[in-house]
Every structure is written in structure tokens, then in C-alpha cells.
A = this chain, B = another copy of it.
């Protein structure tokens, strides 16, 4: 099981989650710890993988926290659909899959192998809000 942080409030004029016709759309969550301190940094090479993985775990935990808060607990999730990971990175960074696997593991730990399995895209971006090292957004199908 996974211990979720307090659901963070959005930092702008959007909603953390929109639920419509059985699908929940979760807003991008930047890597921050339970005290809202941002995990910053740029992934440049192999030595940065552990820090980026920790950032990925934190971003995913925040996604699950706002999702659970919006739908009344994760039991309402039928199937994760798509996960997108944006890693703040230097041009030569190549280890996106290893980094995002840390987020995928959190998802599968929280929801199990069947409901937690998902499609995924991972890319390296130039910058992120608050200088965060990672941002994740996802969409999830809910039980009827």
C-alpha cells in the first residue's frame, strides 16, 4: 500500500482534477515533498537518476493524492489510462524510462498490476514550474 500526502491545492486558475463521463483528468503535479518544498534540479546524466526517481515518486504521489481526494478514494479507479512524465533535463539526458519507472512503480503499488498498468510517454523539457525536476499528469477511468 501507498501512503498519500495531503492533497495539494492548485497554484493557479485550474482544478486539480476534472471528472467527466467516467474519466478523471489529473492536472500536472510538480515534484514537491509533504511540506510543499519543491524537489528541484536538472537531469543531466546517470548520476542524476536517483534524484530524478525520487522526484518522479513525489510527483506521482501528489497525482494520486488529488485524484483520491476528488473521487472519494482510489477504490473508485477502474483502470489507469495514460501517464505523461516531463523531466527537466540537459540535452544529453537519455535515462527517461528508468526515471519514470519509479513513478510507474508507485502507481502499480497503489492500484495493483491490473488497474495500475498504463500507457506512458516520457520526454525531457527545458523548464518546469518552481524549478521542479519533474512533472506528471495522468488520466484514469472510473468504475461505473
Residue of B nearest to A16 (CB): B119
Instruction: Give the chain B neighbours of A28 by CB distance below 8 A.
Output: 120-123
Are A104's CB and B25's CB within 8 A? no
In contact, A124 and B121 (Cβ under 8 angstroms): no
Report B-chain residues with C-beta under 8 Å of the C-beta of A23: 81
Using CB atoms, name the residue of chain B closest to A42: B91
Which residues of B lie under 8 Å from residue A27 when comparing CB positions?
119-121
Kindly state the separation between the CA atoms of A137 and B83 in the bound complex, as whole angstroms.
11
Q: Which of A45-66 contact B (CB under 8 A)?
A: none
A80 CB, min distance to chain B CBs, angstroms: 8
Q: How large is the interface on A (under 10, 10 to 19, 20 to 34, 35 or more residues)?
A: 35 or more
**Complex formed: what's the CA distance from A100 to B117 in Å?**
29
The answer on a CB contact under 8 Å between A123 and B128 is yes
* Cα A124 to Cα B129 with chains together (Å): 8
A141 interface residue (CB < 8 Å to B): yes
Q: Chain B contacts of A126 at CB under 8 A?
A: 88-91, 93, 124-126
A12-B101 contact given A25-B81, A82-B18, A126-B91, CB 8 Å threshold: yes
Nearest-neighbour CB distance to chain B for A89, whole angstroms, equals 4
Q: Which of B90, B118, B127 sits near A90, CB closer than 8 Å?
A: B127
Query: Does A39 interact with chain B (Cβ within 8 Å)?
Result: no
